[in-house]
């Protein structure tokens, strides 16, 4: 299960819908793993807000990892302090800080069977905001993070008989290829595309590295609350989670919810859908990388 942009504030009544949404998503789906793609909190007390937001997962024994969002370090905790708080919560599977790698919540999670590693999830920290030569904008995935990904990917490929392990990348701020894709008349899409992807000003080449190593088949982001689409652009799937928060920030596409992923051992591709709070399942598709185009215009939700 992917949660994103919960923007939770302890003690704020406008955050209660975020908790109700998480409880319903967990109880309906009973996920094996939750990946939260950032903007967990939206105010002080920051540490308490992180802990309360993940309490429903703690209560149910659901393991989780976090890709920090830009706003998670906007309050009384530094980015490192926010990451350290997340790691203290029971059930968190983020690994410790990696020396020499920019950011904090960079990680790789593998799904294994008796046959070995079948899938990998790369988690990247997309940072907050930067100013470069007078230009201000969102941060980008740095070259040290790309080098770290390449080391992980190449090691998994070697261990898999020199075959790339099918993989996905999860992070908060979308990359520039999201903007390229929505303008490409050849792309196909399902779901809500209701705002321009708010990516970084800079393209550091992450997707080019994904294509070169041949393992990552889908990129999954948050950040833009009015998008929840799945887009096929080239040989890659670009997708957003469903806004999972309450009423502390903007959201114009309807009930909050979560994006669900389902994997079957020994089978290529994956199933994904959106579950909306109080409404059920939408955008239910099975995606395979070698399928030319199986997405169509979004159904009415």
Point out the least confidently predicted range of 74-78, 90-94, 256-260, 265-269.
265-269
Number of domains within the chain: 1
Q: Is 109 helix (H, G, I), strand (E, B) or coil?
A: strand
Mean pLDDT of 251-258: 96
pLDDT tier, 37 (very low <50, low <70, confident <90, very high otherwise): very high
Mean pLDDT of 252-265: 96
Q: Please state, in angstroms and rounded to a whole number, the distance separating the CA atoms of residues 43 and 188.
A: 37
81: nearest Cα among 124, 117, 46, 55: 46
| pLDDT value for 26 | 98
pLDDT tier, 293 (very low <50, low <70, confident <90, very high otherwise): low
Contact 125, 70 (CB under 8 A): no
Is residue 11 assigned to a domain?
Answer: yes
In the chain, pLDDT over 90 holds for what percent of residues?
A: 91
| pLDDT value for 297 | 47
Q: Output the average pLDDT for the chain.
A: 95
pLDDT tier, 289 (very low <50, low <70, confident <90, very high otherwise): confident
222: nearest Cα among 33, 4, 49: 4
Is residue 300 assigned to a domain?
Answer: no
Indicate whether 301 pLDDT > 70: no
Q: Which domain holds residue 136?
A: 2-287
Q: Which helix (H) or strand (E) holds 260?
A: strand 257-262
Q: What is the pLDDT of residues 193-245, one digit of tens each?
A: 999 999 998 999 999 999 999 999 999 999 999 999 999 999 999 999 999 99
Is residue 88 assigned to a domain?
Answer: yes
Look at the block and give the residue holding tokens 């201000």: 136
Mean pLDDT of 251-278: 96
Q: Please state, in angstroms and rounded to a whole number, the distance separating the CA atoms of residues 25 and 19.
A: 10
Q: Please state, in angstroms and rounded to a whole number, the distance separating the CA atoms of residues 294 and 248.
A: 36
Mean pLDDT of 22-34: 98
Is residue 58 assigned to a domain?
Answer: yes
Would you state the structure tokens that stand for residue 301, as one six-digit string? 């939700």
CATH of residue 236's domain is 3.60.21.10
Is residue 297 assigned to a domain?
Answer: no
Indicate whether 21 pLDDT > 60: yes
Would you state the structure tokens that stand for residue 274, as one six-digit string? 């959106």
Is residue 84 assigned to a domain?
Answer: yes
Q: Is 168 helix (H, G, I), strand (E, B) or coil?
A: strand
Q: What is the pLDDT of residues 172-195, one digit of tens each?
A: 999 999 999 999 999 999 999 999
| pLDDT value for 295 | 62
Is residue 293 assigned to a domain?
Answer: no
Sheet holding 257-262, edge to edge: 64-66, 34-36, 2-3, 257-262, 270-276, 280-287
Mean pLDDT of 46-54: 98
Q: What is the pLDDT of residues 132-158, one digit of tens each?
A: 788 899 999 999 999 999 999 999 999
Is residue 294 assigned to a domain?
Answer: no
pLDDT tier, 294 (very low <50, low <70, confident <90, very high otherwise): low
Mean pLDDT of 285-294: 77
Buried b (16+ CB within 10 A) or exposed e, 11-29: ebeebebbbebbbbbbebb
Indicate whether 292 pLDDT > 70: no
Mean pLDDT of 60-74: 98
pLDDT tier, 296 (very low <50, low <70, confident <90, very high otherwise): low
């Amino acid at each position: 299960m992917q949660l994103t942009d919960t923007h939770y504030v302890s003690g704020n009544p406008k955050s209660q819908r975020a908790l109700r949404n998480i409880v319903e998503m967990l109880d309906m789906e009973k996920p094996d793993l939750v990946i939260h793609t950032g903007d967990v909190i939206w105010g002080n007390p920051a540490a308490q807000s992180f802990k309360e937001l993940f309490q429903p997962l703690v209560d149910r024994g659901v393991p989780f990892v976090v890709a920090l969002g830009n706003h998670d370090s906007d309050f009384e905790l530094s980015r490192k302090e926010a990451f350290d708080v997340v790691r203290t919560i029971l059930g968190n599977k983020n690994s410790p800080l990696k020396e020499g790698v920019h950011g904090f919540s960079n990680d790789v999670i593998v799904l294994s069977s008796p046959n070995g590693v079948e899938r990998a999830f790369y988690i990247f920290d997309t940072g907050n905001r930067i100013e470069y030569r007078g230009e201000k904008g969102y941060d980008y995935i740095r070259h040290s993070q790309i080098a770290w990904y390449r080391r992980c990917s190449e090691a998994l490929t070697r261990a898999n008989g020199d075959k790339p392990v099918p993989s996905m990348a999860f992070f908060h701020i979308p990359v520039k290829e999201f903007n390229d894709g929505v303008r490409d008349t050849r792309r196909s899409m399902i779901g809500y595309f209701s705002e321009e992807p708010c990516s970084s000003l800079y393209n550091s080449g992450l997707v080019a590295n994904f294509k070169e190593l041949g393992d990552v088949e889908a990129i999954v982001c948050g950040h833009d609350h009015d998008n929840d689409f799945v887009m096929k652009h080239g040989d890659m799937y670009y997708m957003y989670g469903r806004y999972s928060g309450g009423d502390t920030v903007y959201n114009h596409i309807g009930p909050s919810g979560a994006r669900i992923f389902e994997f079957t051992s020994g089978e290529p591709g994956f199933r994904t859908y959106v579950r909306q709070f109080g409404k059920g399942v939408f955008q239910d598709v099975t995606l395979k990388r070698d399928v030319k185009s199986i997405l169509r215009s979004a159904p009415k939700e």
